[in-house]
Amino acid sequence: MVDFLANYGYWGLFLGALLAGSILPFSSELLLSGLLLAGANPVLCLISATAGNTLGGMTCYWLGKLGKMDLLERRFGIKEEKVKIWSERLRHKGAVLAVLGFLPFVGEVIEVALGYLRSNAWLVCLFICVGKGLRYFAWMMAHIYMVG
């Protein structure tokens, strides 16, 4: 799948990051590194990956906003108890904690919980974008430093 998406350059990276940002398991960092090794423009890679991953994160938010916890648990393995626990933690913090959406395992749950709480979608989107953008920037800088 990574090879297939890499053939589509920045659009493939966008799609791979979208998949990785949603509930589906995928490694967009591997795809990003592959494109950088192939000589792709780092700024365009950063924009493509961040935009796709942000959109993927917003799919989690909208799934939470639907409030169909039985569907989320049955289809995607997101436990209602986890969403309720995170909802309680996030209730007084607001959309700012969407910046943690990049975290493995809990990031998607945070995004779903913010949707479940009906947090401001624009603010959630902004903070998801900041968090995921910073993660890709750090990954890219580490890649450039290690590879040269």
The whole-angstrom separation of Cα 39 and Cα 6 is 12
pTM for the model? 0.84
How much is the pLDDT for 79?
72
Quick check: 1 pLDDT over 80? no
According to DSSP H, which parts of 2-119 are helical?
Answer: 2-6, 9-21, 28-37, 42-66, 69-76, 80-90, 106-116
Provide the pLDDT confidence category of residue 148 given band limits of 50, 70 and 90: low
Report whether pLDDT(72) > 70. no
State mean pLDDT over 68-95: 71
What digits encode the pLDDT tens for the residues 37-64? 999 999 999 999 999 999 999 999 998 8
